[in-house]
Structures are given as structure tokens and as C-alpha cells.
Amino acid sequence: QAGSLQALQQQAAESVGVTAKQLPGLIRLTVLEQALSDALVSTLPATAAQLKAEYHKDIDQFDQIDVAQIAVSSKSLATHILSLARKNVASFPALAHQYSQDQASAANGGEIGSVGRSQVVSLLGTAKTKIGTIQLLHTQGEYLVLHLISRHTVPLSQATAQLKSNLYASQATALLQKALSDEATKLGVRVNPRYGRWDVTTQTVLAVKSSISLPS
């Protein structure tokens, strides 16, 4: 949608107020901070009940369906496409390219990616969410021929790290700041006095007011 990788990178850089050249460094720092936060949070205790409650609260993170769609404005055309797709499931990508008015998904053979299963159920009902089926849906003035390609689930037993990260999200920043402060104290950070002094609490270099008076 951005037109090119370069354009996408430029948009991302502008959205966070840095240059395109600075963006890779910012991404690396952000990912590193998240990894450190996750590692610190993983050491915190959590009961089975807490993990189960968090799992079901954000179940769409762990139970998703890969969906493809063909969007048209005519019911008769949608019904025709539905019939063709059900006769030959393998033709769905070609039908999306030919008929879908949603250009973004049409370019991908109709695929829109993974969608939380509860969202699919709310649209189609539980009885129509069998994987492999092709269904017709009328919503917001258009007709959607939906192909439910596959289902991906992450069991609670494999989601502990993510659940803890969600559970202790409000504490992650404080834990990270404390860990960095402790490490800085242990390492003994030194700053050239011409640039100021290191403040271990804020983890920044503070400017020091010069004692030299310049002649007016």
C-alpha cells in the first residue's frame, strides 16, 4: 500500500519523528527493550488461575483463522462466485483477482491474513466456521465470499511467556528502568565533564552549569 519498501520506511520514520537513516537503530532499540522487559517479567510469579483468566481474556491472540475474501456489491454475482469457489476451492485466488473490488486483498489472492476466531464466529455463527468451508456474508453494503483456510491455536501451556507479558504490562517499564539503573551503577558509568554528569536515576547526562564567566 505504501508503494515501496523505501516509502514504507519513510512513513514509519516520520510517524515517530526520526529520519529514515535513524529508523533501523530505533527499531533495534525498541525490540531490545521489549526482549529485556519480557525476560524480566518472566521471573515474576503467576498463578494458574491468573494465566487462565488472561488467556481467555485475549483468546483471539491464541486462536485465529486464516481468511480469504472476495468482496463484490452484487448479491447475484456473489452467489455465482460462491458456486464457482465451492466447486473448485483451488480457483479461489484466481476468482479474487478477477472479481474482488477490494484491491488490497485481491492482489494476495483474496487473503486478508489471520483473524481472531471469535470475530469470525460473531459474523458467521459457530455452525459455519468449519475450516475449509466457503461462506457468503452480507455486511456494510457489500457481499463477501469468505474462505476459511486454516485455524491456528496456541495452547495455554505454550502461551505462558506472552500471558505474563500481558499480565504485568504495567510493571514492565519500571522493572526495565530498575534493571538498567542497577547495571549502570554496577558498571560505573563515567562521562567526560565537558558534556555534563551521569545521573543514575534518570539514566541521562545532565548538563553542568559552567563556573567560567566569559567577558562581556
DSSP E strands, the chain: 63-72, 111-116, 134-139, 142-153, 197-199, 204-206
pLDDT given at position 205: 87
**SS3 at position 35:** helix
- State the pLDDT at residue 201: 73
pLDDT band at 210 (very low <50, low <70, confident <90, very high): low
Question: What is the pLDDT at residue 59?
Answer: 94
Distance between CA 172 and CA 151 in Å, rounded?
31
Q: What is the pLDDT of residue 216?
A: 57
pTM higher than the cut 0.85: no
pLDDT given at position 189: 82
pLDDT of 13-29, one tens digit each?
999 999 989 999 999 99
What confidence tens digit (pLDDT) does each residue in 132-187 have?
Answer: 999 999 988 899 999 999 999 999 999 998 999 889 988 888 888 888 888 888 88
Phi, psi of 190 (to 5 degrees): -120, 145
**pLDDT for the residue numbered 144:** 96
pLDDT of residue 148: 97
- At 211, the pLDDT band (50, 70, 90 cuts) reads low
Which DSSP state fits 10?
Answer: H
- Residue 74: helix, strand or coil by DSSP? coil
Q: What is the pLDDT of residue 214?
A: 56
- C-alpha 63/C-alpha 152 separation (Å) is 6
pLDDT tens digits, one per residue of 40-63: 988 889 999 999 999 999 999 999
Backbone angles phi, psi at 96, to 5 degrees: -65, -45
Give tens-digit pLDDT for 114-133: 999 999 999 999 989 999 99
* CA-based radius of gyration for the chain: 26
Q: Which H/E stretch holds residue 82? A: helix 75-87
